[in-house]
């Protein structure tokens, strides 16, 4: 660097006397963007909007093209396997799929179908064996750890089944933590709006241990949304919640898509949770077997009706719901609770014993 600085002050006459081989190599600018540049065909064709409220809604099905503005994330010939030889387990079998901007996509499938693996690869939490993953036109699958860390801070939000809140921080501190880690400015108006939407105005000073499960998950939702990420990945976001809290979280996720143009990819085994989605992908043996657009609850149940594995959580959820509807009960009724399901199950057991 010292030699390079000295060279910059030398006169043109002096420079001509320096042999070409002895001239210092120019030092690259330190301002280069740390995220890898992609060929033009792999980048978004328009700039990402500065706020979620300005994000465009997805276009009609089938109108998305590679690298188009309407595609927020995509997988290209994605494969993931564990082990080698005869013991190899194929989790993803050359999957290609686009995730639309401003949509809520639910990924479903039986245990071992590859749904969680697909989400983890899309979010940069796992490395594919082959194939490519793009988020906002940037190739996630080619990034190093530092680049992935920055990508996750700036463009990806997460909602986990176990909430992943810091127990020593208040709800407000947990919500603002990603922005503070990234040293990004806090938009107070947007923060106040998100807090109102999730209904946490009177819980901001409470720690996670002082909140119910539903309230903790709403804190996690607010934490993901306040940073205005390009896409939020939600892994079984209602898996640890009762039916009422589940509905609150799912309604919030759907409203964030409809009202603010947020893009969400959600893994779930629950047909009721999937019915809130604008699109449902069904996986089996590492491949996409169904791609449903705005499916009804009954349509989702029909997809799994032919599955013969009663131990699978997707099938058992579908069978439970179907049994309730068979008695004229609506499993999606807001006034119903898990207690109603348990009561019916107990009544059925008593009938079998009589």
Q: Compute the distance between CA of residue 350 and CA of residue 354 in angstroms, rounded to an integer.
A: 6
pLDDT for the residue 310: 53
Contacts for 232 with CB less than 8 Å, ≥ 6 apart: 156, 157, 158, 159, 224, 225, 262, 263, 264, 265
pLDDT for the residue 49: 37
Q: Where are the domains of the chain?
A: 46-353
Residue position matching structure tokens 């093209």: 65
Q: Compute the distance between CA of residue 186 and CA of residue 226 in angstroms, rounded to an integer.
A: 9
Query: Which among 298, 255, 249, 297 is positioned nearest to 275, based on CA atoms?
Result: 297
* C-beta separation of 280 from 106 below 8 A: yes
* C-beta separation of 281 from 288 below 8 A: yes
* C-beta separation of 70 from 99 below 8 A: no
pLDDT for the residue 306: 66
- Sign of the CA dihedral with 320 first, then 325, 327, and 329 last: positive
The yes-or-no verdict on residue 149 having pLDDT over 80 is yes
Query: Which among 229, 153, 161, 243 is positioned nearest to 190, based on CA atoms?
Result: 229
* Count of C-beta atoms within a 10 Å radius of residue 283: 26
Q: Identify the CATH number of the domain defined by range 46-353.
A: 3.40.50.300
Question: Strand locations in the chain, DSSP E?
Answer: 71-82, 89-100, 104-108, 130-135, 138-139, 156-160, 231-235, 264-267, 279-284, 287-293
pLDDT for the residue 248: 87
Digit-coded pLDDT (tens) for 155-177? 999 998 889 999 999 999 999 99
Digit-coded pLDDT (tens) for 216-260? 999 999 999 999 999 999 999 988 888 888 898 899 899 999 998
More confident residue, 3 or 266: 266
More confident residue, 124 or 67: 124
pLDDT for the residue 239: 87
Residue position matching structure tokens 């047909």: 271
Query: Which among 2, 155, 136 is positioned nearest to 70, based on CA atoms?
Result: 136
Query: Which among 317, 322, 273 is positioned nearest to 106, based on CA atoms?
Result: 273
The yes-or-no verdict on residue 324 having pLDDT over 60 is no
Digit-coded pLDDT (tens) for 172-195? 999 999 999 889 999 999 999 999
What is the distance between the terminal CA atoms of the chain, rounded to a whole angstrom?
A: 89
Query: Which among 315, 347, 311 is positioned nearest to 329, based on CA atoms?
Result: 347
More confident residue, 305 or 77: 77
Please provide the DSSP assignment of 192-221 as one string.
HHHHHHHT-TTTTT--GGGS-HHHHHHHHH
Digit-coded pLDDT (tens) for 292-306? 999 999 999 999 886
> Half-sphere exposure (CA, 13 Å, Cβ side) for 275?
19
């Amino acid at each position: 660097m010292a030699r390079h600085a000295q060279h910059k002050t030398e006169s043109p006459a002096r420079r001509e006397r320096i042999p070409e081989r002895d001239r210092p190599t120019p030092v690259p600018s330190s301002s280069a963007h740390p995220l890898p540049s992609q060929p033009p065909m792999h980048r978004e064709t328009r700039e990402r909007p500065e706020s979620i409220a300005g994000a465009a809604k997805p276009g009609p099905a089938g109108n998305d093209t590679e690298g188009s503005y309407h595609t927020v994330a995509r997988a290209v010939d994605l494969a993931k396997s564990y082990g080698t030889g005869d013991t190899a387990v194929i989790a993803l079998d050359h999957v290609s799929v686009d995730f639309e901007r401003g949509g809520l996509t639910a990924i479903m499938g039986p245990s071992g179908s590859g749904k969680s693996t697909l989400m983890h690869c899309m979010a940069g939490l796992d490395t594919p064996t082959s194939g490519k993953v793009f988020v906002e036109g940037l190739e996630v699958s080619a990034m190093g750890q530092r680049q992935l860390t920055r990508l996750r801070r700036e463009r990806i939000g997460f909602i986990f089944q176990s909430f992943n809140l810091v127990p020593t921080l208040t709800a407000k501190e947990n919500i603002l933590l990603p922005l503070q880690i990234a040293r990004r400015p806090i938009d107070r108006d947007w923060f106040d709006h998100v807090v109102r939407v999730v209904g946490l105005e009177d819980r901001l000073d409470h720690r996670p241990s002082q909140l119910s499960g539903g309230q903790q998950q709403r804190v996690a939702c607010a934490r993901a949304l306040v940073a205005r990420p390009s896409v939020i990945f939600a892994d079984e976001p209602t898996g640890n919640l009762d039916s009422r809290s589940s509905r609150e979280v799912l309604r919030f996720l759907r409203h964030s898509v409809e009202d603010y143009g947020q893009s969400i990819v959600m893994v779930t085994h629950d047909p009721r949770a999937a019915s809130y989605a604008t699109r449902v992908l069904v996986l089996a043996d590492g491949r996409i077997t169904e791609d449903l657009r705005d499916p009804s609850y009954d349509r989702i149940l029909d997809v799994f009706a032919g599955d013969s594995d009663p131990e699978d959580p997707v099938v058992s959820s579908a069978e439970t719901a179907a049994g309730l509807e068979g008695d004229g009960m609506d499993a999606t009724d807001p006034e119903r609770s898990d207690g109603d399901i348990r009561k019916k199950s107990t009544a059925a057991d008593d009938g079998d014993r009589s």
